[in-house]
A and B are shown apart, each in its own frame.
Chain A
Amino acid sequence: MTMTLTPPAPETTPAYEPSSLDVASLLGVNLTTELSPFEACLDPMLQAIIANKNADFSALSLLKSHSAERFMALGLPNRKHQEAWKFIDLKPLVSKPLPAVQSKLEPCRLPYRLEKALKLPVTLTVCNGAFPKDASPKAAAPWMLFSQLEASVQTAFQQLLTEKTTQESDPFCVLGQALAEDIWTLDLPANTTLEKPLVVYVNQSQTSMAFPQWAVLLAENASATVVVSCSSDAQLQAYIQACATVELAKGATLNWVYLVNHTSENIVQLLNTRATVHEKAYFNLFAVNASNGALLRHSMEVRLVGQEANATLNGITLATGKTSVHNHVRLTHDAENCQSSQIFKAVVGDEAKSEFDGSIFVTTNGQQTDAKQLSKNMLLSNKAKAFARPWLNIDADDVKCSHGTTVGQLDEQQLFYLVSRGISPDEARDVLTLAFVVDLLSQLENVAGVEALKAECLALFQEKLAR
């Protein structure tokens, strides 16, 4: 369906209601028993961060205290009043007592399959939210691929992140930045192309909170592929708040691939992807989730701010058990002749839940916008749920926007065709389930390390289906 619409303008800037998190209590004035264990745990930490600002004026401390203050101003989201959080049950996060951050590095579950079998070397390993302290990992180039914000005062990053924090409306996003031990940066000079993907392996091996943060600046015509693979050991409980802030200068290309595969059912992972895409730059996000975790929310906010900027956002979700997966997209066309495409596919089984909430905003600057959005869902059981909530908010008059949503089940005729050839009904179901999502893998075609990535995705899916 292709259509040009001027829709009602719902909630371009969601109004923030006073939340359940009382700022006064956060400041330690009134620590009542009504605070959730989560809030009670955060309170002293945030206070310490703000206090530290005056003692230590490092770039990181300033940014962290700024983020802590921002979090207090925003407060925890209110499901009743904030559309974006309506379908999200934060109970697994706020009701269970959460262990404090443990910065002690524990050995990770290495070697990792991407590296071992697929020969895609891991560039950086993040254990329990902590980046390696010995600065530069195996850098394949003369410049530092990832560096710590603390290591050198990187004002460009500090400015960028401070500005973003001020505009940020997701409390968890700023919370992560406030509590992060460090922010890892990738700063690629103009006209540089990284031939090999940078693989970041985020492994959770202990019960704790973890706050991995990235900031990526690609200068003019630079190009890179970053693969972030998140996994965790069985059974442990964790809250992982990860954020990637991306700034792409004119003509730059960034492929960002997320492979999320937690085996533990007690993982809450809230992901934030924030990208600003300038003239003729291209941001290509591919997010695969085959997690067993209790809750995964991936909030993607992408702004196309230069002419002919381009963004592709694709997601594959395989949700089973009692998992709840939420893909939230806010994609803004704020310049002429920009293109965007979103395809999100979800396979939902057992009692799992999947939600796609995607908004396309076209400002008055966004003439000749070409925006496509598609959410396709397959339900494997009658207790599984899929929600799709597409929004179009268009303030320009010459735009091409299409969106569509499907929710279906496995096709009986296709199933019969397979079993009539001797294939067992279970295998036939798996084959068709995989078939539903694998065509999206073709979107990885021009990405460095594509064969390994495809193989990894298939392996994740097959493991997931076998569970």
Chain B
Amino acid sequence: MKNQTPLLQIINLHAQVANGGQKILNGLNLTVNAGEVHAIMGPNGSGKSTLSKVLAGHPSIEVTEGEVLYKGQNLLGLEPNERATAGVFLAFQYPIELPGVNNTSFLRMAYNAKQKANELPELDEAGFAEFLKTKLPLVEMKDDYLHRCVNAGFSGGEKKRNEILQMAVLNPCLSILDETDSGLDIDALRIVANGVNQLMSQDKAILLVTHYQRLLDYIEPTFVHVLAQGQIVTSGDKSLALELEEKGYDWLLPHSQQVEVAV
């Protein structure tokens, strides 16, 4: 291993819905090194999105115990915008619509916020338009979407593509993709996966939350983990995903505490 410090280290993480709500994460441990792709699978309601939100700093979840280190630093001590400018990116399972906010301006604001925080030059409108042009092909997105308001009236698949466009613009070190594949048609899945692969490099890592083996055909995971009842209950290589596809999750869960899967 070239780099001694893992990119992300989650140690005994406990989290609950803010203001004393339901407990969701129960002592979760995970280590992610640069250059790795970790797939996270697991039944509905097991806490995958909650984990993603904790990493991004969503105020609806509060951490009650444990530690998260990003490049060896305390991630939980950073404000959500500081995490983003430090290179953490969450592609939302349900991207938010921002009516009245132009997509291009939004992307430029985000880009410039990161540049500024890292003491790098910001781009003016013209410069950013040029820069953005180079990113569009990654997700094969028509520039119509740039003139529209952020996600407003976008189809489910278009929203997901727009998330990856944001990832392309921000060029994050650690990307958490929460079910980016769901809602994408077969062609779009291939396109978006290719985009993600192009954005990946040896100094970056991806947490890939998914329900489907199909995505893992395109984005090859270094590890596959199963998250159930707020913990990682088993980990393996990509063959684990195939096994799950065949057998479901039942066999991994202690029988007494089977999770009811709401559809």
Which A residues form the contact surface with B (CB < 8 A)? Answer: 412-414, 416-425, 427-428, 431-432, 434-439
Contacts and interface: CB of A to CB of B under 8 A. Distances in A.
B153 to A, nearest CB: 13
B76 interface: no
A436 to B, nearest CB: 6
Contacts of A423: 81, 109-110, 113
Interface string B49-75: 000000011110000000000000000
B84 A435 contact: no
Contacts of A422: 81, 84-85, 110, 113-114, 117, 170
A414 to B, nearest CB: 6
Interface of B: 56-59, 79-81, 83-85, 90, 92, 95-101, 106, 109-110, 113-114, 117, 149, 166, 170
Contacts of B84: 419-422
20 contacts: A413-B96, A414-B96, A418-B98, A419-B57, A419-B80, A419-B81, A420-B58, A420-B80, A420-B92, A421-B81, A421-B84, A422-B110, A422-B113, A422-B170, A423-B109, A423-B110, A431-B106, A432-B100, A434-B100, A435-B99
B79 A419 contact: yes
A435 B81 contact: no
A432 B79 contact: no
Contacts of A435: 98-101, 149
Contacts of B83: 420
Contacts, number: 73
B113 A421 contact: yes
B30 to A, nearest CB: 20
A437 B100 CA distance: 8
Nearest to B82: A422
Interface of A is mostly: helix
Nearest to B87: A422
Contacts of B57: 419-420
- 3 pairs of A and B residues whose beta carbons are closest in the complex: A435-B100, A422-B84, A421-B110
B81 A424 contact: yes
A126 to B, nearest CB: 34
Contacts of B81: 419-425, 428
A324 B248 CA distance: 62
A438 B90 contact: no
Nearest to A416: B58
Contacts of A414: 96-98
A438 B100 CA distance: 6
A432 B101 contact: yes
A431 B98 CA distance: 10
A417 B99 CA distance: 13
A419 B113 CA distance: 10
A432 B58 contact: no
B90 A420 contact: yes
B99 A439 contact: yes
A317 to B, nearest CB: 16
Contacts of B101: 431-432, 435
Nearest to B90: A420
A428 B90 CA distance: 17
A429 to B, nearest CB: 12
A412 B100 contact: no
A416 B18 CA distance: 15
Given A414-B97, A421-B113, A435-B101, 13 more contacts: A416-B80, A417-B96, A418-B106, A419-B84, A420-B56, A420-B84, A421-B170, A423-B110, A424-B113, A427-B113, A435-B98, A438-B100, A439-B100
